[in-house]
Amino acid sequence: MADNAEGSATKLSFKVKTSGDGLHSITIGEFSTVLDLKTKLSGEDYENISVDRMRLIYSGRVMKNEEPLSTYKIKNGNTIHMVKSAASNPTPANTSAAASTLAQPAVPPNMSAGTSANNPLDHLTGARYAGFANLPSADLFGPNGGMGAPPSMDEVADMLSNPQSAQLLNEAMSNPGFLDMMIENNPMLRNLPNAREILQQQLPTIRHLMSDPEAMRNMMRMRSMFEGGMPGAGGAGGAGGFPAPGATDTSGSNPASGGQQANPFAGLMGGNPFLNPFGAQPPSYARSTPGTGGAASPGAAISTPGANTTASSGGATAGSNDSNTGAGAGATGASQPQAGSPGAAQANPFAALFSAMNQAQGGAGAGAAGSPGVGAGQNPPMNPFMADPQAMQNMLQNLGLGGGAAAAPADNRPPEERYADQLRQLNDMGFTDFDSNVTALRRSGGSVQGAIEYLLSG
């Protein structure tokens, strides 16, 4: 993040508000020109649009490219408005979702345009990735063009250990549009206001989990165990490549799985927002690898049947889940293969995840993997993860924090940003003290009504 100011120049910190909903905090030397600022804003981290489409306005003045920022006497913490002009010629629709409110390209970028409004992988059918990856040989697809049984988990893991696939995966994961798609495709993530930030912060971890064959193996081992505890569900998946129900791999000799009528993990798998991202990711990953239809995708084959079958049975099972013992047993079972597996460290987040879920679900406090004090205060009766964004944030954080650290505050945006609307309303009503407004809003959880009551009574 180099800026072009001389070392002695004072740094200016200000916000740039875009005509979408974007808000960027920028720090730059005061002798940088407006053009420097625009160049910085045009980067992938920010707006990802070309400099000449950007117009900046501060204090009622349009900022001129060649002038230094000091001309405009911007004070720290103030806001510059950015206006995006229409593209004079269509640019690739690689803008992030924040920017997607404006500037739709006039010409479809490729033949798959229009299939999905928010699918950044559209480009994969374009020329951008041509020659980037070798097309897979026909035998990768298996008989019937890959429509047969999905490959075994070991095959998937082997494929993942191929550096080329890993590279492609990384490429996809570092595309902000891809994250947007993940979030868009997942209702639970969509409801989470800062899902995007969380995902971005945790990106290295997720990427690691997705691309490390060992982590993948661990996950699958756990998965197959869960499936084992869910008679019939695995069969419904119709996946020949999957271990048959009950006949899971030997490492997962789960004592809790046999004949449990209420397997808490069935619900967890169904409603588990953590696994869902993975459910969403591998298909697109697969699409990116061979550059052909998703049917050949091993990743998709692994994760989608699970998502489908468990999701359908999950709600019901979770509803009938009343056995704390089952939860505890399940947790211990889950931790077994990890201990024996070489990638135990990678598996830890999951252990924490599941134990946190157990706690929240039944108040069982299974604690098999030393849950980081999450969910201790929450004792909702039934699967809370379907509705409770807080719990989900906790889980996402666990995922990144490896289960050991305390959960960071969930929403780390500054209050003036988070409560912008509410603050405006309060201001309009005559409550002008910023600090007490924020305090009140915090107490009321963002409800203006509650904040007013607090302000009036306090």
Select the span of 80-88, 180-188, 232-240, 445-453 touching another protein (CB under 8 A): 80-88
Report if residue 108 touches another protein, rule: CB under 8 A.
no
The residue count for binding another protein (CB under 8 A) is 22
- Nearest distance in Å: CB 168, another protein: 38
- Asked whether position 86 contacts another protein by CB under 8 A, the answer is yes
Please choose, out of 78-86, 174-182, 253-261, 372-380, the segment that lies near another protein by the rule CB under 8 A: 78-86
Residue 2, classified by CB atoms within 10 Å of its CB into exposed (0-12), middle (13-18) or buried (19+), is exposed
Contact between 62 and another protein per CB under 8 A: yes
- Which two structure tokens, joined as six digits, stand for 140? 């990768």
Q: Between 208 and 424, whose beta carbon lies closer to another protein?
A: 424
Query: Residue 346: which H helix or E strand, with range?
Result: helix 344-362
Give the nearer residue to another protein in terms of CB position, either 11 or 75.
75
Q: Should residue 58 be labelled a site residue for another protein when binding is judged by CB under 8 A? A: yes
Task: Identify which of residues 78 and 175 has a Cβ nearer to another protein in the complex.
Answer: 78
DSSP H helices in 3-106? 34-41
3-state secondary structure 370-438: CCCCCCCCCCCCCCHHHCCHHHHHHHHHHHHHCCCCCCCCCCCCCHHHHCHHHHHHHHHCCCCCHHHHH
83 touches another protein (CB under 8 A)? yes
Please say which residue, 76 or 191, places its beta carbon nearer to another protein: 76
Provide the minimum distance between the beta carbon of 415 and another protein in the complex, in angstroms, as a whole number.
14
d(CA 31, CA 227) in angstroms, rounded, equals 62
17 binds another protein (CB under 8 A): yes
Is 73 near another protein (CB under 8 A)? Answer: yes
Residue 236 identity (one-letter amino acid): A
Please state the closest distance from residue 177 (CB atom) to another protein, in A: 24
22: Cβ contacts below 8 Å, ≥ 6 apart: 16, 46, 47, 82, 98, 99
Minimum distance, C-beta of residue 319 to another protein, in the bound complex (Å) = 45
Answer yes or no whether residue 75 interacts with another protein by CB under 8 A: yes
CA nearest neighbour of 50 among 100, 14, 3, 86: 86
Q: What angle do CA 276, 228, 280 make, to 5 degrees?
A: 15
Q: Which of 13, 25, 27, 59 binds another protein (CB under 8 A)?
A: 59
C-alpha angle with apex 359: 356 to 363, nearest 5 degrees? 170
Cβ contacts of residue 9 below 8 Å, gap of 6+? 29, 30, 31, 32
Q: Which listed residue (162, 208, 424, 433) binds another protein by CB under 8 A?
A: 424
Question: Of residues 42, 68, 81, 205, which one binds another protein by CB under 8 A?
Answer: 81
Question: Should residue 61 be labelled a site residue for another protein when binding is judged by CB under 8 A?
Answer: yes
Handedness of CA 407, 410, 415, 417 (dihedral sign): positive
413 is an interface residue for another protein by CB under 8 A: no
Q: Is residue 48 within 8 Å of 99, Cβ to Cβ?
A: yes
The single residue among 80, 179, 366, 438 that binds another protein, judged by CB under 8 A, is 80
Q: Choose the binding region for another protein from 58-66, 299-307, 374-382, 405-413 (rule: CB under 8 A).
A: 58-66
Buried b (16+ CB within 10 A) or exposed e, 394-427: bbbbbbbbebeeebeebbeeebeebbeebbeebe
Is the Cβ of residue 78 or residue 292 nearer to another protein in the bound state?
Answer: 78
CA atoms lying within 13 Å on the CB side of residue 93: 26
Q: Provide the mask over 28-57, with x wherever binding to another protein is found by CB under 8 A and - wherever it is not.
A: ---------------------------x-x
Nearer to another protein, 164 or 427 (CB): 427
Measured CA to CA, the distance from residue 228 to residue 258 in angstroms comes to 8
79 binds another protein (CB under 8 A): yes
Contact residues for another protein, defined by CB under 8 A: 15, 17, 19, 55, 57-62, 73, 75, 77-81, 83, 85-86, 420, 424
